[in-house]
Structure formats: structure tokens, C-alpha cells
């Protein structure tokens, strides 16, 4: 195996020295990279991919690196492909409610452009000033508003992906409704970069309307809060997003939590003023009827600020949790899952009873020290058992590499027959095994 400097020299001679960045300190899950390449344009990206396919060089695409801890431990990282250079907006048509953009653009930059035409793209991401559209699509990331936004797949209408021969294949287009050919938008969204490099995507947009507000309603217990929130979310006046957070998470979010409460329900509300205030009033009423002693209303700036903090919480570099698990399951089972989970000291929950998602986040208290590997694996196992009993699945989203070495991120979450089709898809798309190998479901 060539040493890193020789490897980087070889690479420079192919893609030009400007595109090759210092690999010092660059890693994927602490596996050091031999080189970092930042293609300046699609042509250069295509060359890197052709070379990688020919020489069996493993590529690890990266947008802003915000969600890059997601995935199984890579065996060997040859090249981190930094895609932040592909950041042009190709076409924005406010009147058609569509946008086409290169994938390396950050969500914040895209939002800034869209606001000019009074539109927004219903995507969420932690640290939107760094997270890229490509990263959001590859991970299929969804945030606290997923109840009304759905998933990134629901807004992606066209996609262009550089495949193993370096050329781009397109699917979909720039129209909001389209059944011309297979819907590969769905396949690439959430495929964690294992089928190719997402270069460009088109989205359906929504008009910006009215204002945002939020309601923070404390509850004596998290189970009570989940039940009340579940009842609210099925009403016609349901908020756009509804999360229940355990007491310690609420504290981390900087919320004032009354001494005797175990959880807080957070309702995020938007819309035209009259409808928004009705949603707010009815939500408050319904949550009180469900056992809350009464909540606090947050105005637009406090609400959007809280929303950002909640979205960022598991992904803040300076305060990364020791462990973050995401459970996805049928919405009505969220309460049972929350009741079944035994949490170690320092662990908390964020539950979304409208969509069917529960995040377990664990910051072990300093006096306890780093948890043992076995104890951590046991916790993951028990979450898996509970999820499976309730028709759900677990993804280990944040986890120290030493523990990941013994835990598959998605273990047992996909049936064998389904996995076999996934294996064939991976083989057909990436015969040389160069795109993010080893990181996805079933170590694809």
C-alpha cells in the first residue's frame, strides 16, 4: 500500500494539485483518511471517480461533515471527497415552486436564496450553515417538523448522481409530478452515498406564510406527556411539529422546567395569524386537559431559536452525546417504547408521537466516567429488543468507534429477503465497491 504522501502525489497528478487538500487529521469515525479531495467542478469529480473505480480506491463523500459520524466503521478510508465546492444554484423558479441546486450548497445558503422569492424548502438539518443538501439527502435526515414536512424523499423531484464510471445519471426532473421512468429519487435519498455521489437535486418548494410560535408545556411524567401529545397530534388543529423531551433534555435546551416535572411537550406552530393563534390556543387547551399544569408561549424568534437548538442537540461537535440512538416505529407505539426504556443516568429522550420517532441521547455524568463497552452494547440491545417488539427499528447515530466496532449501526433492522435486494442494488450500482463501502445497512 502506498504511503499517504505518495498516494496524494499520484492523486494530484490526476486531478490537479488545487483539488487535493491536506489529509492531516481528516478521518471518518477516527479512521484516518489518506487524502482529502475537493473537486472544484463536476468534471473534476468525474475524473476522481473514474480513477477510483479503476484502482479500487475507496471514496467517502462528505458535505459539511455534520452528520458524517452516521454509519458503520469503515475498514480503510482512502479519499474523503469534500463536495462543498459544488454549490451553485442552477435554477430557481419561485412561481413554479421549484429549485435545482448542486448538492454541496449548505441548507442556510439555499434558504437565503429561496427567501428572496418568498419560498422555502421543507428540509431540516443540524447546523444549517454547514450541513449540505447532499448530506441531508444521503442521510435522509428529518428534524422536529417531520410530522408536517415528511422526509426529504417527499420533496425531491429530480436528482443527478455521478456513478461508478464517473458520468452522471439523472432521474426525475423539474416538475412537481412525474412518473416518467423509475423514481430513483427515492432510492438515492437515504442511501448514505453508497450508490454514487449526489451532484444535483431538484426540489418542490412551499410558500412562506405567516409566523412561527411555540408552546412549551411541562408534564409530571414523560409517559403522560407522550399520551397527551398523541391525542393532540390527531386533531385538525394539530401543530406543525410536536416533540416530547425528558426533563434533562429540556434543561440542555435552556428551558425553565418546574421542579416537579419530568418532561416538556414542545409544539411548533406556523401559519397565517388567525389560524396559528387558534392552533396555539387549542394546543394549550388540549395539553392542559392531558395533564400539563400550563405552558409557556414562545414568540417567533424564541420559537425558531428553540427549533434550531433542538435540531442541533445530538450533533453539536463541542457537546456530542456519548451515544445517540434513533428508533423509528408506528406512531401509536411511541408511548409503549418510552415506557419500556430503562435509561442510565444522564440519558434523555426526544419523542415524536406524531411521526413515530424516538431519540435516546446519553451524556454520562462526569463523575461516572466513560461507560463500559459491554454496558453500552447492552443498552443498545435492549433498545433493539423493545423497538422490534413494537414494529420498529434502531439506528445507532452517534457512538464512539470503540463501541461501534462491536455493534452494527442497523443490526437486524432489515429482513433477509429485503437485504438481498439491497445487496444486488449495491452490486449493480457500485461493482468496484468504491462508494462509502462498509458503512450502510448490512455493511453495504
Site string for another protein, 341-380 (x = CB under 8 A): --------------xxx-----------------------
Residues between 17 and 56 that touch another protein (CB under 8 A): none
Report the alpha-carbon distance of residue 81 to residue 292 in Å, rounded: 49
Assess 181 for contact with another protein (CB under 8 A): yes
Q: Which of 21, 187, 302, 343 binds another protein (CB under 8 A)?
A: 187
Are the CB atoms for 134 and 83 separated by under 8 Å? yes
To the nearest 10 degrees (0 to 180), the angle between helices 42-55 and 4-15 is 130
Are the CB atoms for 294 and 217 separated by under 8 Å? yes
Residues between 252 and 271 that touch another protein (CB under 8 A): 271
Phi, psi of 45, rounded to the nearest 5 degrees? -60, -45
Q: Which is nearer to another protein, 206 or 377 (CB)?
A: 206
Q: Which is nearer to another protein, 164 or 292 (CB)?
A: 164
| Rg of the chain on CA atoms, in Å | 22
Assess 432 for contact with another protein (CB under 8 A): no
Residues between 156 and 175 that touch another protein (CB under 8 A): 161, 163, 167-171, 173-175
Q: Which is nearer to another protein, 89 or 414 (CB)?
A: 414
Using CB under 8 A as the binding criterion, the count of chain residues that bind another protein stands at: 80
Residues between 2 and 21 that touch another protein (CB under 8 A): none
Q: Which of 328, 377, 432, 443 binds another protein (CB under 8 A)?
A: 328
DSSP assignments along 135-182, one per residue? HHHHHT---TTHHHH--GGGTEEEEEEE-TTS-EEEEE-SSSS--SS-
Q: What is the DSSP letter of 106?
A: B
Assess 407 for contact with another protein (CB under 8 A): no
- List the one residue out of 121, 111, 129, 116 whose CA is nearest residue 145: 121
Owner of C-alpha cell 461493482: 431
Residues between 273 and 302 that touch another protein (CB under 8 A): 274-275, 278-279
Assess 438 for contact with another protein (CB under 8 A): no
Q: Which of 60, 219, 268, 440 binds another protein (CB under 8 A)?
A: 440
Assess 72 for contact with another protein (CB under 8 A): no
Assess 425 for contact with another protein (CB under 8 A): yes
Q: Which is nearer to another protein, 191 or 246 (CB)?
A: 191
Q: What is the DSSP letter of 56?
A: T
Q: Give me 28's grid cell.
A: 471518518
Minimum distance of another protein from residue 38's CB (angstroms)? 25
Q: Which is nearer to another protein, 16 or 431 (CB)?
A: 431
Q: Which is nearer to another protein, 33 or 394 (CB)?
A: 394
Residues between 228 and 247 that touch another protein (CB under 8 A): 234-237
Minimum distance of another protein from residue 94's CB (angstroms)? 8
Burial 272-295 (b: 16+ CB within 10 A, else e): eeeebeebbebbbebbeebbbeeb
Burial 312-339 (b: 16+ CB within 10 A, else e): bbbbeeeeebbbbbbbbbebebbbebbe
Assess 408 for contact with another protein (CB under 8 A): no
Residue 241 half-sphere exposure toward CB, CA atoms < 13 A: 28
Are the CB atoms for 195 and 430 separated by under 8 Å? yes
Assess 388 for contact with another protein (CB under 8 A): no
Phi, psi of 32, rounded to the nearest 5 degrees? -65, 140
Residues between 87 and 116 that touch another protein (CB under 8 A): 93, 95-98
Assess 154 for contact with another protein (CB under 8 A): yes
Minimum distance of another protein from residue 379's CB (angstroms)? 19
Q: Which is nearer to another protein, 96 or 305 (CB)?
A: 96
Query: Could you give the angle at the alpha carbon of 288 between the alpha carbons of 287 and 290, nearest 5°?
Result: 65
Beta strand ranges found along 182-247 (DSSP E): 197-204, 206-207, 211-219, 241-246
Assess 424 for contact with another protein (CB under 8 A): yes
Q: Which is nearer to another protein, 84 or 142 (CB)?
A: 142
Amino acid at each position: 500500500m502506498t504511503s499517504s504522501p505518495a498516494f496524494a502525489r499520484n492523486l494530484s497528478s490526476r486531478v490537479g494539485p488545487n483539488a487535493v487538500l491536506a489529509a492531516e487529521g481528516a478521518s471518518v469515525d477516527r479512521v484516518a483518511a489518506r487524502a482529502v479531495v475537493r473537486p472544484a467542478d463536476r468534471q473534476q469529480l468525474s475524473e476522481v471517480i473514474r480513477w477510483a473505480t479503476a484502482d479500487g480506491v475507496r471514496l467517502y463523500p462528505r458535505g459539511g461533515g455534520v452528520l458524517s459520524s452516521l454509519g458503520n466503521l469503515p475498514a480503510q478510508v482512502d479519499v474523503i471527497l469534500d463536495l462543498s465546492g459544488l454549490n451553485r444554484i442552477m435554477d430557481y423558479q419561485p412561481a413554479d415552486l421549484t429549485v435545482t441546486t448542486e448538492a454541496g450548497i449548505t441548507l442556510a445558503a439555499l434558504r437565503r436564496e429561496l427567501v428572496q422569492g418568498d419560498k422555502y424548502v421543507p428540509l431540516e438539518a443540524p447546523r444549517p450553515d454547514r450541513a449540505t443538501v447532499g448530506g441531508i439527502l444521503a442521510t435522509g435526515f428529518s428534524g422536529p417538523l417531520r410530522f408536517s414536512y415528511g422526509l426529504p424523499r417527499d420533496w425531491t423531484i429530480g436528482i443527478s448522481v455521478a456513478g461508478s464510471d464517473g458520468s452522471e445519471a439523472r432521474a426525475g426532473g423539474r416538475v412537481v409530478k412525474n412518473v416518467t421512468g423509475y423514481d430513483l429519487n427515492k432510492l438515492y435519498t437515504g442511501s448514505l452515498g453508497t450508490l454514487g455521489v449526489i451532484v444535483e437535486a431538484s426540489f418542490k418548494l412551499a410558500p412562506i406564510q405567516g409566523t412561527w410560535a411555540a408552546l412549551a408545556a411541562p408534564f409530571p411524567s414523560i409517559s403522560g406527556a407522550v399520551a397527551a401529545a398523541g391525542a393532540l397530534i390527531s386533531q385538525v388543529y394539530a401543530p406543525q411539529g410536536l416533540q416530547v423531551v425528558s426533563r434533562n433534555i429540556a434543561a440542555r435546551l435552556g428551558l425553565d422546567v418546574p421542579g416537579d416535572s419530568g418532561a416538556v411537550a414542545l409544539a411548533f406552530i406556523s401559519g397565517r395569524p388567525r389560524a396559528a393563534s387558534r392552533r396555539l390556543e387549542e394546543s394549550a387547551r388540549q395539553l392542559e386537559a392531558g395533564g400539563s399544569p400550563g405552558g409557556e408561549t414562545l414568540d417567533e424568534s424564541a420559537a425558531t431559536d428553540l427549533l434550531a437548538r433542538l435540531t442541533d442537540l445530538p450533533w453539536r461537535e463541542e457537546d456530542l452525546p456519548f451515544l445517540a440512538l434513533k428508533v423509528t416505529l408506528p406512531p401509536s407505539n411511541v408511548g409503549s417504547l418510552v415506557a419500556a426504556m430503562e435509561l442510565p443516568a444522564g440519558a434523555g429522550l426526544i419523542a415524536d408521537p406524531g411521526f413515530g420517532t424516538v431519540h435516546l441521547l446519553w451524556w454520562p455524568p462526569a463523575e461516572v466516567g466513560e461507560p463500559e463497552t459491554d454496558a453500552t452494547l447492552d443498552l443498545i440491545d435492549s433498545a433493539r429488543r423493545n423497538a422490534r417488539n413494537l414494529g420498529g427499528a434502531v439506528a445507532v447515530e452517534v457512538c464512539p468507534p470503540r463501541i461501534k466496532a462491536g455493534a452494527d449501526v442497523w443490526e437486524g433492522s432489515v429482513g433477509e429477503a429485503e437485504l438481498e435486494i439491497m445487496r444486488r442494488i449495491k452490486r449493480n450500482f457500485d461493482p468496484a465497491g468504491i462508494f462509502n463501502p462498509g458503512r450502510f445497512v448490512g455493511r453495504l
